[in-house]
């Protein structure tokens, strides 16, 4: 009987530890983004390079209390706005275009934000580098989109 109790307690502690680690990874990845600017170094669509490489700024936010937003800027032109989220134990990143007004000054940035809105698998993530892969981008459904970023 005593062994069963110890076994049950050990199992509960292990389960709690695994849940806590998963939540912490989502939080950790979000912390690495929030308040930071990342440069897109490479974008490919089914292996073909995409020429526009923006800066992506992630606004400060509390991932558990609010929707997180950011901006996309191409070569000093206007900004596009997006919402973002890290989820699924830190393995998924979602980008959703939120730009309401489009004009000549931000047309390319909005096009990037809208085209690459989607759900991405995080394939690499550390304090300096982020690599995302998706087949669900708004403009490129079913195609393999890879985005590689580095922290500024």
Beta strands in 59-126 (DSSP E): 68-73, 79-87, 92-97, 118-125
Entry pTM: 0.80
Indicate if the pLDDT at residue 124 is higher than 90: yes
Report the phi/psi class of residue 10: left, alpha or beta, with left for phi > 0 and alpha for psi in -120 to 50.
Answer: alpha
User: How much of the chain is helix, strand and coil, in % rounded to 5?
Assistant: 25, 40, 30
| Predicted local distance difference test score (pLDDT) of residue 23 | 47
Structure-token pair, residue 73 = 């800027």
For position 25, what pLDDT does the model report?
65
Alpha-helical (H) ranges within the chain are 2-33, 107-115
pLDDT at residue 35, as a whole number: 87
pLDDT in tens, 6-40: 544 444 344 444 344 444 666 676 777 888 999 99
pLDDT attached to residue 54 = 95
CA nearest 43: which of 126, 107, 127, 139?
A: 139
**pLDDT value of position 92:** 94
Q: Which residues pair with 126 in a beta bridge?
A: none
């Amino acid at each position: 009987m005593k062994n069963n109790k110890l076994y049950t307690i050990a199992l509960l502690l292990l389960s709690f530890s695994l849940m806590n680690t998963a939540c912490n990874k989502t939080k950790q990845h979000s912390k690495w983004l929030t308040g930071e600017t990342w440069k897109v170094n490479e974008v490919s669509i089914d292996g073909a390079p995409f020429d526009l490489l923006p800066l992506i700024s992630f606004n400060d936010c509390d991932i558990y209390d609010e929707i997180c937003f950011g901006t996309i800027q191409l070569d000093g032109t206007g900004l596009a706005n997006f919402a973002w989220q890290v989820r699924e134990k830190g393995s998924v990143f979602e980008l959703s275009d939120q730009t309401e007004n489009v004009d000549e000054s931000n047309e390319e940035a909005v096009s990037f934000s809208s085209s690459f809105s989607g759900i991405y698998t995080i394939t690499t993530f550390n304090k300096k580098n982020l690599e995302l892969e998706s087949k669900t981008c708004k403009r490129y459904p079913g195609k393999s989109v890879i985005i590689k970023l580095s922290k500024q």
